[in-house]
Amino acid sequence: MPHPANPAPLSPEFLWPHGKKCVLFPGFDVDAESVWLNMEPESINKLVTMSYGGYEARVGVRKILELLARYEVRATFFIPGWTVEAHPAMCEAIVKAGHEVGHHGYLHKRPDPTRFDLAREEIDKGFEALKRVLGVTPVGYRAPSGENFHELLAYLTECGIRYSSSFRDDIRPYRHVLPGNKPGPVELPVNFAMDDWSYGMTHRLDPGAGTLHPKEHVLSIWRDEFEQTREWGGVSTLVMHPQITGRPGRIRILAEFLDHVRRFDDVWIATGEEITRIYEENCPTT
């Protein structure tokens, strides 16, 4: 018997608020050094490898926050617990600027369906660090390296997570269905085409990292994605990393993309929590 990857029903149609036609969901993954430590734990003593992630605390996040303030955009920052403990001042600045903080694991470990115990530990430690250091209890979760499974989705729901932003199977939000036909979190799907890691990261540890793609190349992909998603009334979800897009040569790509988006007056720019709230109001579970 064929086995569909995701048994959730198709995304429901409903109208976006304020008469808008589509949504831009600006999401930033503040991995810092955790992404490198997870790939190779001994990196802790490799100062240059660690410095890729260290750029976020020294420069990257500050520059991203300046850009968002200039454009008057509120975004969602998905932050691993390790990052919060290592760089409390950087993360406090994100909260102080009024942005939403989402859960992004603890040490950026990709959830493994054969090790629910480890996945659950990452979730618990992430919640604990965000609460202790920032006083924040997130309602959104983006899986580190984008993987998930039913047991974990059920646990996230139990922990108060109202939305996930990791799946790649739609352009509009939908609600996950858990075993036993129980409602899971709302999904705000992502698209690898709008992940800056694909275009702006080169590192020997990461086999997926390639050559740097120039601005015109990246913008042409992002514009096409955004404009067609707009016509279809969907959500364009950004997956940006301050250690990439916070670089001098990369931040202009995001700035010019936001300039392009602002040429349309029918785009609702919203955080994950705001989009989820609209979904919940339009599509209640009971």
Judged by the rule CB under 5 A, the positions of this chain that interact with Zn ion are 29, 31, 144
Q: Which two tokens stand for residue 172?
A: 């509009």
Q: How far is the CB of 153 from Zn ion (least distance, A)?
A: 18
Task: Determine contact, residues 84/128, Cβ cutoff 8 Å.
Answer: no
The nearest distance, CB 31 to Zn ion, in angstroms, is 4
- The residue sitting closest to Zn ion, measured at its beta carbon, is 29
Shortest spacing between CB 77 and Zn ion, in angstroms: 11
Give the residue with the Cβ less far from Zn ion, 141 or 268. Answer: 141
CB of 105 to Zn ion, least distance (A): 8
Q: For Zn ion, which is the closer residue by CB, 53 or 144?
A: 144
Using alpha carbons, list the distances in angstroms from residue 170 to 4, 233, 275: 14, 12, 15
Q: Residue 218: which of 198, 201, 247 has the closest Cα? A: 198
CB 133 within 8 A of CB 90: no
Smallest separation, CB 38 to Zn ion (Å): 9
Q: CA geometry: angle at 241 spanning 240 and 247, to 5°? A: 110
In sequence order, what DSSP letters do the residues of 157-192 get, joined into one string?
A: HHTT--EE----S-SS-EEEEETTTEEEEEE----G
Radius of gyration of the chain (CA): 18
Q: Minimal distance in Å, beta carbon 78 to Zn ion?
A: 7
Give whichever of 54 and 178 is closer to Zn ion, judged by the CB atom.
54
Nearer to Zn ion, 31 or 100 (CB): 31
Torsion of CA 90, 96, 97, 101, to 10 degrees: 70
